[in-house]
Amino acid sequence: MRAAIVILGQGALATARRLQGAYPQARVMGLKDRVEGADESYANFGETLRRLYRDDTPIIALCAAGIVIRTLAPLLVEKGAEPPVLAVAEDGSAVVPLLGGLGGVNRMAREIAAKLNVAPAITTSGELRFGACLLDPPPGYALADIEQGKRFVSDLLGGDTLRIEGNAPWLDELDLPLAEDAAHTLRIDARAEGIGQHELRIHPRIVLAHVTLVDSQLPERIRQGLAQAGLAEASLAALIAPRCRMADPALSMAAAELNVPLRFVEQDATLPAEVLHGDSFHLHRAATPLEAQSIGQPRGRLSVIGLGPGASDFMIPAVRRALDEAQDLLGYETYVKMAEPLRDDQVRHCTDNREEMQRARHAFELAASGRRVAVISSGDPGVFAMAAAVMEALHESSDPHWHGVELEILPGVSAALAAAAKAGAPLGHDFCLISLSDNLKPWETIETRLDHAGAADLAMAFYNPISKARPWQLGRALEIVRHHRTPETLVVLGRDIGRPAEALRVVTLGELVPEMVDMRTLVIIGSSLTRRFPRAGGGDWVYTPRWYR
């Protein structure tokens, strides 16, 4: 579970880390400038808490219960579909479940309390009396009707007794007022119909819908099939489809609509006994609840992401999400480190920067097996980075399982844009991006492009401007540029932009020598119109106007 442990001060960090022992996937979020060493920092407590709540993220707030209540109060209209929200005393001495009674908040309160060696402040009557919330059955089971359930539990609290029909091991743990001749019945049954007035029906998730023919009517057809077989919709554990149909969007839409996991199996997979043979799907029924995770595989996902120049504020939120969800991370070691915080359960595959195609193929192999994979580049993945290699690997492959992977390219702020923004707007008019590396293209091509870009009066951003293995290329490139631009032309040198050692320098083309540049520098050569003026705090602003004359 991907809970957020939210803390306001340094004093709470130790308790937060203890809680992570119970929830290894949870992340500790600390208030900016107040907390050092959290997994993530936030600037505004109220906005952050409300965003987490809206996103359905379980919240463990290490602060006064009142603060949490006041903060979430405006959102508390619809109870029923809310995430668990708990307040925990900073020193770990108290655990108060606040919201999300049907989302398992009391279960979490018990787990946290056990971890902290205290008693949880459980206030739900039914739960106190019976030892668990009957209206929030464990995974593998679903309550048929919440309103009827509430009446049922309140009858029990009023002194009524019940009998149990059907079987669920977790019921044995509860302390229920059982009686042979009780008027109330708790029935564990996959059937939908015939729910009596004094009955609590809990459906075990024991049915699989094995799709054989995909069409847009699938959810409706499956609902009808279940009804025909006398089975409740909530007894559906998963949608199963052949592996060769992995990329079919109608399948994922159907699974989302039916709110069940989608799993893929080989044609000859063995499934539980068939109970209904439909035109486009078969229903299979097991004896006990099914764990969807143990059937076949999910559709794997490959996210090719750009971290931006370095600072986490410069990373788009979709990239952070992809990183958080990834099970495998591939990339040059420096970039994988830049992607932190990562969890212990995420596998890092660090490789040398040069093995791009090999890394791309490895990523597809992992994703085709059902893993969620992130391939990491700095800046933008499509700018002299991994996205093109990933595309090429897929283009070259005829493996249907590779083509079945859910592939997404998530953009990032490229070094040229980050460096330009720091300097002002040197790329405010037409510009081009050129890598000076001749590892993958002939040097003559680079010379031709520099010559033409120079003649066209384009501003230019040079990536990979120089390295130990390529010591002379930058000098030669500048010679070509000088045929077209005066020595007064402005040059921006951005080094380690967005990283702790960030340095920005503005020089003229006349002053520029290759010694000012290294492989961590992005070089912007201005056009004939690029100009500068002093900044109030020292140094210059540089920009290229949008007009031409």
**Residue 390 binds ligand SAH, judged by CB under 6 A:** no
**Residue 309 binds ligand SAH, judged by CB under 6 A:** yes
Taking the complex as a whole, how short is the minimal distance between the CB of residue 492 and ligand SAH, in angstroms? 11
Binding residue for ligand SAH, selected from 83, 126, 298, 494, defined by CB under 6 A: 494
Helix (H) or strand (E) holding 501: none
Q: Which residue has the tokens 């992401």?
A: 305
- Give 63 or 478: the residue with its C-beta nearer to ligand SAH: 478
- Give 4 or 415: the residue with its C-beta nearer to ligand SAH: 415
**DSSP class per residue in 111-166:** HHHHHHTS-B----HHHHHHSS-TTSPPTTEEES-HHHHHHHHHHHHTT--EEEES
Question: How far is the CA of 498 from the CAs of 261, 324, 338, in angstroms?
Answer: 40, 21, 11
* The one segment of 5-13, 421-429, 482-490, 515-523 that binds ligand SAH by CB under 6 A: 515-523
- Give 402 or 462: the residue with its C-beta nearer to ligand SAH: 462
Q: CA-to-CA distance for 525 and 544, rounded, in angstroms?
A: 11
**Residue 378 binds ligand SAH, judged by CB under 6 A:** yes
Taking the complex as a whole, how short is the minimal distance between the CB of residue 2 and ligand SAH, in angstroms? 28
**Residue 379 binds ligand SAH, judged by CB under 6 A:** yes
Taking the complex as a whole, how short is the minimal distance between the CB of residue 432 and ligand SAH, in angstroms? 14
Residues contacting ligand SAH: total by CB under 6 A: 25
Query: What per-residue string of b and e applies to 96-109 under the rule 16 or more CB within 10 Å gives b?
Result: bbbbbbbbbbbbbb
- Give 155 or 496: the residue with its C-beta nearer to ligand SAH: 496
64-71 contacts at long range (C-beta below 8 A, 24 or more positions apart): 65/96, 65/98, 68/98, 69/98, 71/45, 71/46
Helix (H) or strand (E) holding 463: strand 459-463
- Give 96 or 363: the residue with its C-beta nearer to ligand SAH: 363
Per-residue DSSP letter, 247: T
- Give 232 or 415: the residue with its C-beta nearer to ligand SAH: 415
- Give 114 or 357: the residue with its C-beta nearer to ligand SAH: 357
**Residue 499 binds ligand SAH, judged by CB under 6 A:** yes
Q: CA-to-CA distance for 518 and 523, rounded, in angstroms?
A: 10
Taking the complex as a whole, how short is the minimal distance between the CB of residue 427 and ligand SAH, in angstroms? 13
- Give 241 or 376: the residue with its C-beta nearer to ligand SAH: 376
Do the strands 85-88 and 95-99 form a parallel or antiparallel pair, or are they unpaired? antiparallel
Taking the complex as a whole, how short is the minimal distance between the CB of residue 415 and ligand SAH, in angstroms? 3
Q: CA-to-CA distance for 26 and 78, rounded, in angstroms?
A: 25
- Give 293 or 353: the residue with its C-beta nearer to ligand SAH: 353
Contact partners, residue 260, CB within 8 Å, separation at least 6 = 236, 237, 238, 239, 292
Per-residue DSSP letter, 353: T
**Greatest CA separation for the chain:** 101
**Residue 424 binds ligand SAH, judged by CB under 6 A:** no
Q: Which two tokens stand for residue 344?
A: 């212990």
The residue number whose beta carbon is nearest to ligand SAH equals 379
**Residue 383 binds ligand SAH, judged by CB under 6 A:** yes
Q: For residue 79, with 0-12 CB atoms within 10 Å meaning exposed, 13-18 middle and 19 or more buried, which class applies?
A: exposed
- Give 84 or 465: the residue with its C-beta nearer to ligand SAH: 465
- Give 192 or 415: the residue with its C-beta nearer to ligand SAH: 415
Binding residue for ligand SAH, selected from 186, 209, 376, 415, defined by CB under 6 A: 415
On the CB side of 77, CA atoms within 13 Å amount to 3
Binding residue for ligand SAH, selected from 310, 331, 424, 426, defined by CB under 6 A: 310
Binding residue for ligand SAH, selected from 57, 71, 303, 414, defined by CB under 6 A: 414
- Give 186 or 383: the residue with its C-beta nearer to ligand SAH: 383
CA 401 to chain centre: 23
**Residue 463 binds ligand SAH, judged by CB under 6 A:** yes
205-224: contacts with ligand SAH (CB under 6 A): none
Q: Is the dihedral of CA 267, 271, 276, 281 positive or negative?
A: negative
Taking the complex as a whole, how short is the minimal distance between the CB of residue 465 and ligand SAH, in angstroms? 6
- Give 174 or 433: the residue with its C-beta nearer to ligand SAH: 433
Binding mask 90-119 for ligand SAH (x = CB under 6 A): ------------------------------
* The one segment of 81-89, 171-179, 441-449, 460-468 that binds ligand SAH by CB under 6 A: 460-468
Binding residue for ligand SAH, selected from 15, 303, 377, 530, defined by CB under 6 A: 377
Q: Where are the alpha helices (DSSP H) in 439-516?
A: 443-455, 473-482
* The one segment of 76-84, 178-186, 311-319, 373-381 that binds ligand SAH by CB under 6 A: 373-381
**Residue 380 binds ligand SAH, judged by CB under 6 A:** yes
* The one segment of 15-23, 134-142, 208-216, 497-505 that binds ligand SAH by CB under 6 A: 497-505
Binding residue for ligand SAH, selected from 497, 506, 512, 524, defined by CB under 6 A: 497
Q: CA-to-CA distance for 31 and 4, rounded, in angstroms?
A: 13
Taking the complex as a whole, how short is the minimal distance between the CB of residue 433 and ligand SAH, in angstroms? 9
| Angular region, 80: left φ>0, alpha ψ -120 to 50, beta rest | left
Question: How far is the CA of 45 from the CAs of 31, 41, 48, 68, 121, in angstroms?
Answer: 7, 10, 5, 10, 24
Torsion angle of the four alpha carbons 342, 346, 352, 355, in this order, in degrees rounded to the nearest 10: -130
Binding footprint of ligand SAH on the chain (CB under 6 A): 309-310, 377-380, 383-385, 414-415, 419, 463-465, 494-499, 519-522
